[in-house]
């Protein structure tokens, strides 16, 4: 599996845009695109769960080189809440119903555009981690909160 480089993010963004997918970079990967310094393994994408949008995601993933069986394509197209992909050029988690966020459209309105990517706001990234409340979320929250404060002072 190739390492996720900035070019990977550009390819991902370009193909998702080409297919008209409504999505946001989310989680720690979203924060990293906003400048956060930490490490992560995979890309988290918050995807609008409308049926048509899910079908567009499938087409975009296939173009990007993800190996999806017909059943997997059908599952994603039908709409799941969470899909973990380790069968492509980089690791991606598709999140259709993140903890702490009621509606995609609300997160979309609060999004930040940076480097040409739509990225969830730090408030939504932090809020979702607070709602998920896993051990790894609790450990990462102080630094994420610190980054949000830093970001506010550097706008």
Partner 1 sequence: MANLQPNPAEWEDFEAAAKRPIEQHIRNSFVHTYKPVLDDAEYRSFNSMEEYRRWCKENLPYWLGYSRD
Residues in touch with partner 1 (CB under 8 A): 1, 3-7, 9, 29, 32-33, 35-41, 43, 67-69, 72, 75-76, 80-87, 90-91, 97-99, 115, 132-136, 139, 141-143, 145-147, 149-151, 154
Least Å from the CB of residue 23 to partner 1: 17
Which backbone phi and psi does 104 adopt, to 5 degrees?
-60, -40
User: Is the CB of residue 94 less than 8 Å from the CB of residue 88?
Assistant: no
Least Å from the CB of residue 134 to partner 1: 5
By beta-carbon proximity to partner 1, the closer residue of 109 and 153 is 153
Query: How far apart, in whole angstroms, are the C-alpha atoms of residue 13 and residue 94?
Result: 14
By beta-carbon proximity to partner 1, the closer residue of 21 and 32 is 32
Pairing of strands 43-47, 92-95: parallel
Residues in the chain: 155
């Amino acid at each position: 599996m190739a390492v996720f480089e900035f070019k990977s993010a550009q390819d991902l963004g370009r193909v998702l845009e080409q297919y008209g997918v409504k999505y946001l970079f989310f989680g720690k990967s979203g924060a990293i695109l906003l400048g956060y310094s930490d490490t992560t393994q995979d890309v988290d994408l918050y995807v609008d769960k409308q049926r048509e949008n899910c079908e567009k995601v499938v087409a975009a993933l296939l173009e990007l080189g993800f190996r999806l069986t017909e059943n997997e394509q059908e599952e994603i197209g039908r709409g799941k809440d969470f899909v973990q992909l380790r069968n492509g050029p980089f690791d991606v988690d598709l999140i259709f119903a993140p903890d702490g966020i009621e509606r995609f459209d609300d997160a979309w309105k609060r999004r930040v555009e940076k480097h040409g990517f739509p990225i969830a706001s730090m408030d939504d990234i932090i809020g979702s981690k607070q709602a998920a409340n896993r051990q790894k979320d609790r450990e990462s929250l102080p630094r994420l909160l610190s980054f949000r404060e830093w970001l506010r002072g550097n706008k």
